Structure 1
């Protein structure tokens, strides 16, 4: 449906107004979601996440900085980093100017007037429009610059209407789109070589919600690999600058709790202890991760002390994201060894670009590394909530946005998205968002042209592993949805259906985690060849030829560049720039066997081959 609508709009001369129409329609959809219930509505004494966000506006606008993290911590005490507090402060100032009773200290607790609800819902939409929407628009333009305008607009539409974030932020009520938007902006900066700006946006994402740490291993290894590729001189300079920008940004965010602005040198420990609440236990609700799924048999909290569980979670998380970090480091080291001095030479060819622009051979690895890292944290880390599936879902949907329906990335993206929404079903049902859950899930699958019933009907065709996994997962999901209204759980097992939800969702997430590792390895082969052998057997181009190839486009819209395994100039475009028939037609230009090991989201082209990949008319 989305593909046909984009094509219809383009043929009728609506290309220039299409982005505005999509954004406008999405705002109305978000307002429609806001008409439904929200977290904790009419449920005293704590109400829910809605009241938590409102209460933070209340305390930030009425109390000095040094009391923000200490005021009545038992009633929704502030437990997010300072940027969230500053956003709450700004919202509190606006709310106070409209109606002081909305944020009156203590007396406003649990307020649920129509005006207050409208303001709270409007604040989420406002920050989403200011941060998340521009980030997605830039992503669709920068990362898909070699694709047709239709494909870029379709990717933007898919990203804007993804149901998981819509349900959590505009139904359940939170501000996750701000954190995710800042992370996408960091990716946009990395794509065009502005690594300092990318590091700045990533720190802001961390400063808004500490869950952005899920991306830290991938981002950190990517930037460190860039420093290695640039060589001792340029790389050392970039490393120092990245360290300075990171320290400076964190310092500004935490400055009210740092002397001389704070009277105590230990004041900084107060927000940090609130941000990382290890005292809360291994998990609270039923979450589709390793700990909750295995707890059905192992009963972890009875078998081991909490300190041991914290360490075990840290070790498993480290082992989970180690493959992607190792692959990025291996690729950077091999490229630096094979081309010891050309990075510095190529980095000086274009004075209009940052010095590290030309050295982006590892860029196609970044989205898969982000998926591997964030999924590792979700599956194995300490104190995970069901809503944090949004973090691994973000890189998966970014990969999905540019894929064609016959590609492996499309199949994994659709499966991961549907199962992620299903994994939040117990939460959404409890909040009264069942109608919104079903409506948005059906709308998005119709929009992307994906039919789970068709997947189920072809279960025995055994087309691929992801096809069989999808069919089995959808059968289980539909069966549970049909069974839940009929069967009343026995008193001995009151959480029967949430546990069954975990047992269905967790294996899919584990497979996604393993798939991300496989893709990291495959993309690394595209860059260096398996074990670096392909890199040594081919006459590699100099960095200067790759940099000059980018001068064909305006500097602000240049495609991500990568070293490849072809004889002449190469361009590796990540996130699915060429698939299907067009990719197969171009196979004669690539090194034999070089694309066979690649995920369908990465293609390599030789020489001056133009990648347009227009959407088919049928």
Structure 2
């Protein structure tokens, strides 16, 4: 897909979101021949291409409506209950109410968002039970249609931000491909429009942060990131990169030797005032009603275990897998006796006793703490220190040279660190890696790492949907083929080395291996219903997903880290082109 170049200089078009990016810019009267909107970058003319997301939005909306009647998870009931809580109860009771197990555990802006949605619930949907504050909701088709529709409507914000990203770019072919890969993300289709969540809108805010960084609108960047944190606190994992980038780009003046002048105090106060103001709006009412302890306990529960019921494909998935293998192997008399001569290993009797006394070994579908049989148990402190170490390591280059690409690289590595080493990580958090990483795909060596994390990450979401195997597999496969080819055509080589340990070939072999892996687990699920012996291994299919996808996530992290720390030429650019 080659970029079409116009012989005449193109007239830049201002999007309706540009005003929210630059507070100090003066509005210009648009030319009568140029129309500006969220979904159109230019009025199509002969000899030029139309880089608009409008057609994609229409086509995907039709698909998403057709998926209304597909499987939805308990997250659907969670959000229905949040609609009821925020609509039926006063604000001071939102984070105290516990009639249902689906208590409100997102930050205040998301609670306000649910309240706003509840104001638009039609009478028929109210009668259907959408706003009933009960232990277990009883609702019908009307509620499903309403809630599914709100996901589609709120996702328009993501389209709007990415259309602005295209409009403000010189290389529209590249940015259109990047934007298209995000709005067509299999992760959004699976998690939002089938499983049920509102990630499209939230990632729209994250893209707004990235867009502001791209155009050096640092105050707006701070504003949008503060807003994002007040919507969903999982984005705290990205805070180190954002904080260091703003500190270095807007607050510290490295040309000054005077310690007083080294800090741009006025800029520091401005950034601080923006963040404090946003958090005051979000948390102020709850501070006033003295319910902050209850709110914070909902946001940061520490009673959950290291891994989720379905292991997220990270370090701890492989750690858990190794523990299971050791348990099996060390119960073989010959192996146990041989290893006991070399290293200290527990006897077969001790292993059997540990298995009997362990409350949760990670394969029972439970979310409480996990007890390992052979390997040492992992504590939240270990997870925190590992995450912090790699976070600090990734932001140091930004502190030295705060270019846009280096910031996005650090942002992506922050997401990797939290996903790989975090405590009780959900598989859906892999999208926190994929979204910022997508903005880096301008060089072929980065593309190899990206396609591994995209393939492993999106495939790891398949277990969220126990049915719709054809839809999720076919959609992901088509997306992967289209954007592998598209990114390969628009990306370039900027480094003198062709490969690092033939990483590109390894990446290709790994991604191709995802196909037989998915097919094998699919057959395994079919045969479970026919053979009783297979029913004893209920979580084997999930373990295969976790381990194989975990290898890919770790491999892509290693590849990106190598390029980030040892290929400076990839990160010196202050643009995304």
Give TM-score scaled by structure 1 length.
Answer: 0.70
Match runs of 1:106-121 below 5 Å? 106=133, 109-121=136-148
Match of 1:423 in 2: 460
Corresponding residue for residue 130 of structure 2: 103
Quote how far apart the aligned CAs of 1:469 are: 3.1
Q: Mean alpha-carbon deviation: is it higher for 239-248 or for 22-31?
A: 22-31
1:235 to 1:77, Cα distance in 2 relative to 1, 3 A? same
**2:160 paired residue number:** 134
- Answer yes or no: is the 8 Å Cα contact 1:214–1:391 preserved in 2: no
From 371, 374, 381, the counterpart of 1:302: 371
User: Are 2:429 and 1:388 aligned?
Assistant: yes
Counterpart for residue 307 of structure 2: 283
Asked if structure 1 preserves the Cα contact closer than 8 Å seen for 2:163 and 2:179, the reply is yes
User: Is 1:206 aligned to 2:258, yes or no?
Assistant: no
Distance 2:264 2:316 in 1: 40
**Are residues 236 and 519 of structure 1, via their aligned partners in 2, closer, same or farther at CA, if it must alter by over 3 Å?**
farther
Choose the corresponding residue for 1:327, options 397, 401, 418: 397
Query: Partners in 2 of 1:79 and 1:19 — Cα distance?
Result: 34
Q: What's the counterpart of residue 440 of structure 1?
A: 475
1:292 is displaced (CA, Å) by 2.3
Aligned pairs (5 A) from 1:518-597: 518-522=562-566, 524=568, 572-575=573-576, 577=577
Native 8 Å contact 2:428 2:461 kept in 1 = yes
Counterpart CA distance in 1 for 2:158 and 2:396 is 31
TM-score when scaled to structure 2? Answer: 0.74
How far is the alpha carbon of 1:18 from its aligned partner? Answer: 3.4
* SS of equivalent to 2:440: helix
* Change in CA separation of 1:19 and 1:57 when aligned onto 2, cut-off 3 Å: same
Aligned match of 1:165: 188
Aligned to 2:242: 219
Is 2:557 the counterpart of 1:510? no
Task: Provide, for residues 235-293 of structure 1, a one-character-per-residue CA deviation record: whole Å limited to 9, x for no partner.
Answer: 3322222122111111110122112xx1x3xx211111101111122222221111222
2:98 aligned residue: 72
What pairs with 1:102-501 in structure 2 (closer than 5 Å)?
A: 102-106=129-133, 109-129=136-156, 131-142=157-168, 145-147=169-171, 149-226=172-249, 227-229=251-253, 232=261, 235-259=264-288, 262=289, 264=290, 267-285=291-309, 286-298=311-323, 301-302=370-371, 309-329=379-399, 331-332=400-401, 361-400=402-441, 403=442, 407-428=444-465, 430=466, 432-448=467-483, 450=485, 464-482=502-520, 484-486=522-524, 487-488=527-528, 490-501=534-545
Specify the SS of the correspondent of 1:170.
helix
CA distance in 1, matches of 2:77, 2:565: 45
**Residues 306 and 103 (structure 1), Cα distance of their counterparts in 2 relative to 1, 3 Å cut:** farther
Q: Within 2, Cα distance between the matches of 1:507 and 1:312? A: 21
CA contact (8 A) 1:411 1:466 kept: yes
Judged with a 3 Å threshold, the aligned counterparts in structure 2 of structure 1 residues 416 and 574 are, in CA distance, closer, same or farther, namely farther
Alignment of 1:87 with 2:113, yes or no, is: yes
Match of 2:52 in 1: 18
> Unaligned 5+ residue runs, structure 2?
5-39, 324-360, 362-368, 487-498
Seen in structure 2, the aligned counterparts of structure 1 residues 30 and 484 have a Cα distance that, compared at 3 Å, is: closer
SS of equivalent to 2:155: helix
Q: Distance in 2 between matches of 1:469 and 1:443?
A: 18
Q: CA deviation at 1:522?
A: 4.4
Q: What SS does the aligned partner of 2:264 have?
A: helix
Aligned-partner SS, 2:120: helix
RMSD of aligned C-alpha atoms?
Answer: 3.1
Q: For 1:409-459, what per-residue CA distance to the aligned partner results, in whole angstroms no more than 9, with x for missing partners?
A: 22322222111111112222x2x23222112112213432549xxxxxxxx
Aligned residues: 469
Residues 435 and 507 of structure 1: CA distance in aligned 2, closer, same or farther (over 3 Å): same
CA contact (8 A) 2:449 2:557 kept: no
Report the Cα distance in structure 2 between the residues aligned to 1:424 and 1:215, rounded to whole angstroms.
21
Deviations 1:488-537 (A, max 9, x none): 4734432111111111111211122223323332464667xxxxxxxxxx
CA gap of 1:161–1:2, structure 2 versus 1, over 3 A, is: farther
Cα distance between partner residues in 1 of 2:117 and 2:50:
33
Q: How many angstroms apart in 1 are the aligned matches of 2:52 and 2:522?
A: 41
Q: Distance in 2 between matches of 1:294 and 1:126?
A: 41
CA distance in 1, matches of 2:544, 2:75: 25
- Unaligned runs of 5+ residues in structure 1 are 40-47, 333-360, 452-460, 528-563, 565-571, 578-618
CA–CA distance in structure 2, aligned partners of residues 362 and 150 of structure 1: 23
> Is the contact between residue 365 and residue 523 of structure 1 (CA under 8 Å) also seen in structure 2?
no
Deviation at 1:96, TM superposition (A): 5.3
Relative to structure 1, is the Cα distance of residues 160 and 526 closer, same or farther in structure 2, using a 3 angstrom cutoff?
A: closer
